[in-house]
Amino acid sequence: MQTSVDIEALNQQIKIESAFVERLRAETSKVIVGQPIMFDRLLLGLLTKGHVLLEGLPGLAKTLAIKTLASAINAQFSRIQFTPDLLPADIVGTMIYNPQQNEFTVRKGPIFSNFILADEINRAPAKVQSALLEAMQERQVTIGKESFKLTEPFLVLATQNPIEQEGTYPLPEAQIDRFMLKVKIGYPNQEEEREIVRRNLGVSDFGKIGQVVTTDEILKARETVRKVYMDEKIEQYILDIVFATRDPKSYGLNDLVPLITFGGSPRASINLALASKAKAFMERRGFVIPEDVRSICYDVLRHRIGLSYEAEAEEITQEDIIRQILDTVEVP
């Protein structure tokens, strides 16, 4: 167990090492108006080696937010526009015949970057999706007989449009589980939209972003995030939340039993714990509090709960179920 002296020292260390979070927020706010949750979740994924799936209507700055974050960090950025005719080789690369040397050489694909924006991931067929998801999980790519490690930090940020389902290939539950977070993006309010319009109609240097963080700082911060102190009571709280999605009856949530077909896997518990630590780090704290868990819970669990036909018929969403679980499970 860590002593109070250890936690105090850890607090001081994190206050110093997390200073770049404010620099990043300040720099990206030059371009992104509002959407603080979206930016925080992107940064949280970066700090935990977790990939992020963004779901929202067109024109809500999903692509712009990802590109802006990459510009503020001294990192490589690749955008892949997913289409039905895309091939796995278009993502990972392929072998090219060189007639001068009479041999095949490797041509690496856009996956060899730090930030990968997989735009409209549900537009590509299953073969292409699985090629990307394998790279996400293994953090390496095999081309021909050679395997190549992907450079760190490596982060896949995928977007999907929730309204157009015609001609799409929805991600299977087993594959969508590989994303640490699924973030839903909403419309800005009137004041934010007024500012967006003014900026886009204003000065010509709008959108210029400076590099305020290095990849080394990010990699160092990842190590520190794992040192953030988590009390056993917080651990138990996380387990209770996840287990309530699997066996709601044991937690007195009998009305949820017919609504859930499957709950969160152990990956949900791992990701919820790690995301809570990263949230504490971003708040410049050396320890996790219940509010860290509650604030990130929806994004970690919403794509890991299966709804029954009865739930869909009654228009009950994963958010409704998570909200009921959080209202019921005892907070430490």
**How do residues 3-62 score in pLDDT, each as one tens digit?**
444 778 888 888 888 888 888 888 888 877 777 788 889 889 989 988 899 887 777 777
Q: Which tokens sit at 54?
A: 């963004």
- The predicted-structure confidence for 272-315, as pLDDT tens digits, reads as follows 999 999 999 999 888 999 999 999 999 999 999 988 899 889 98
- State yes or no: pLDDT of 332 exceeds 60: yes
Helix (H, G, I), strand (E, B) or coil at 14: helix
Check residue 205 and give its pLDDT.
Answer: 53
- State yes or no: pLDDT of 322 exceeds 90: yes
Helix (H, G, I), strand (E, B) or coil at 313: helix
Check residue 119 and give its pLDDT.
Answer: 86
Check residue 270 and give its pLDDT.
Answer: 94
Q: Quick one: average pLDDT of 70-91? A: 86
Assign 203 a pLDDT band (cuts: 50, 70, 90).
Answer: low
Give Dmax over CA atoms of the chain in angstroms.
72
Check residue 175 and give its pLDDT.
Answer: 75
Domains of the chain as residue ranges with CATH: 31-199 (3.40.50.300), 228-328 (1.10.8.80)
Check residue 95 and give its pLDDT.
Answer: 81
CA distances to 32, 170, 207 from 79, rounded to whole Å, are: 18, 20, 18
Q: What percent of the chain has pLDDT over 90?
A: 19
Burial of 115 (0-12, 13-18, 19+ CB in 10 A): buried
Q: Which DSSP string corresponds to 67-124? A: HHHHHHBT--EEEEE--TT--THHHHEEEEEETTTTEEEEEE-TTSSSEEEEETGGGS
Check residue 166 and give its pLDDT.
Answer: 59
Place of tokens 């709280």: 237
- State yes or no: pLDDT of 248 exceeds 80: yes
Mean pLDDT across the chain: 84
Assign 164 a pLDDT band (cuts: 50, 70, 90).
Answer: low
Enumerate the H helices of the chain as residue ranges: 4-17, 19-28, 36-48, 62-72, 89-92, 126-138, 173-176, 190-201, 215-227, 232-246, 266-282, 290-301, 309-313, 318-328
Distance CA 265, CA 176 (A): 12
